[in-house]
Amino acid sequence: MQIPFVDLYAQYLTIKDEIDGAIAKTIHESSYIGGAAVKQFETLFSEYIGLSHVVACANGTDSLEMLLQAMGIGAGDEVIVPAISWISTSEAVSSVGARPVFVDLEPNYYTINPALIEAAITPRTKAIMPVHLYGHPADMEAIMQIAQKHGLRVIEDCAQSHGATINGKKAGTFGDAASFSFYPGKNLGAYGDAGAVATNDEELAKAVRRIANHGQEGKHNHVSEGRNSRLDGLQAAILNVKLPYLASWTHARIRNAALYTELLQGSEVVLPQTREGAQPVYHLYVIRTKDRASLQAKLKAAGVDTAVHYPTALPFMPCYNGHGHTKADFPVAAQYQDEILSIPMYAELTDAAIRYVVEQIKQA
Ligand SMILES: *Cc1c(COP(=O)(O)O)cnc(C)c1O
């Protein structure tokens, strides 16, 4: 049995007519940049996430970076980020001229450890950027308490967590603003790059919109220099078709994760855990094993594709050599980076496929 890590084409086939129609309509109207579909997506996504302002943009890295810029964070400032994430999280901080300050993970949940945040705060700290990694929400209640105590801004990196909740409240609605990615493989994915900022802060949303549109306030009135970070019409049209399905796809991911968890009980791998009150959306289903290389090879031989997210924690990346970190600074990240393994996870994954993957893991 061949089981891909993700299967974007399988999902396309379930909504083919609507997608093909939306693409044809965009081409018929030549609404490639801006236009009704982009506005519609901003409205629909704002309703979905429950925040009053959504600014669509080119990708999730831009949305992080523009939020930092719009908050006036730059040279001389520090921003606290988790030790394991996709590089965009820390890269966005460096891109605006500030310094990412890494904090180790909370054991079991793969999200930033709130108990270690205060020790990382200095007079230069301006913001905390938690990541709801793998779709499991960070401990936002604890993080918000620390942020309020120290007067820090909070940007939630929701690139992997569309629709995740804590006690029924959506991830992205706890901090000052949320950053979303709609990269094709994300839980809500376009057919190319796409992203968005979501916030209840009207001034912040306006500032991001201005930065994303070359600093213009009204045509040819550049009140500052900005950049080009537009969501294009084709991607917006595709996202408008897909957004109404997100709830059912999320439901399927949660169901698939529950089946993995049930069937993998008693095996030697460490299973993902859920913090009390949290509802993860399983962007990834990540197990841990001391024997990762051998398990991954055996699964590969059995036709099961896996991946590692991410094999090197951020502080240990060559680009952060200058920070002079050692593994002793981030013991949890240092251990997990060598043990984590992402197994196939997507809404269209069949029960038979899940059973096959589990059987192969148990045999290995
Ligand atoms: C995907 C991702 C991003 C960046 O999104 P892009 O749209 O690829 O720029 C940022 N943070 C995290 C945690 C991600 O997984």
Each residue's pLDDT tens digit in the chain (364 positions)?
A: 999 999 999 999 999 999 999 999 999 999 999 899 999 999 999 999 999 999 999 999 999 999 999 999 999 999 999 999 999 999 999 999 999 999 999 999 999 999 999 999 999 999 999 999 999 999 999 999 999 999 999 999 999 999 999 999 999 999 999 999 999 999 999 999 999 999 999 999 999 999 999 999 989 999 999 999 999 999 999 999 999 999 999 999 999 999 999 999 999 999 999 999 999 999 999 999 999 999 999 999 999 999 999 999 999 999 999 999 999 999 999 999 999 999 999 999 999 999 999 999 999 9
Coil vs helix vs strand at 149:
helix
Q: How far is the CA of 62 from the centre of ligand 1 (A)?
A: 9
Atom of ligand 1 nearest to the CA of 160: 15
Atom of ligand 1 nearest to the CA of 193: 7
**pTM for this entry:** 0.98
Question: Concatenated DSSP letters for 51-62?
Answer: -SEEEEES-HHH
Q: How far is the CA of 35 from the centre of ligand 1 (A)?
A: 25
CA–CA–CA angle 115, 131, 56 (5° rounding) = 145
Which helix (H) or strand (E) segment holds residue 364: the answer is none
DSSP state of 271: P
Contact present, 45 and 195 (Cβ < 8 Å): no
Q: How far is the CA of 296 from the centre of ligand 1 (A)?
A: 25
Cα 358 from Cα 258, distance rounded (Å): 12
Atom of ligand 1 nearest to the CA of 133: 13
Which helix (H) or strand (E) segment holds residue 109: the answer is none
DSSP state of 321: G
Contact present, 89 and 129 (Cβ < 8 Å): yes
- Pairing mode, if any, of strands 177-181 and 153-157? parallel
Torsion angles phi and psi, residue 79, rounded to 5: -130, 130
Contact present, 63 and 197 (Cβ < 8 Å): yes
Which helix (H) or strand (E) segment holds residue 196: the answer is strand 195-199
DSSP state of 97: T
Q: Which of 59, 61, 182, 342 to probe ligand 1 with, by most ligand atoms within 8 A of CB?
A: 61
Instruction: Check residue 22 and give its pLDDT.
Output: 98
Structure tokens at 294: 């051998």
Nearest residue CA, atom 1 of ligand 1?
A: 159
Instruction: Check residue 34 and give its pLDDT.
Output: 87
* CB-based pocket (< 6 A), ligand 1: 59-61, 85-86, 88-89, 131, 157, 159-160, 181, 183, 193, 195
Which helix (H) or strand (E) segment holds residue 128: the answer is strand 125-128
340-362 pLDDT, tens digit each: 999 999 999 999 999 999 999 99
Structure tokens at 61: 């890295």
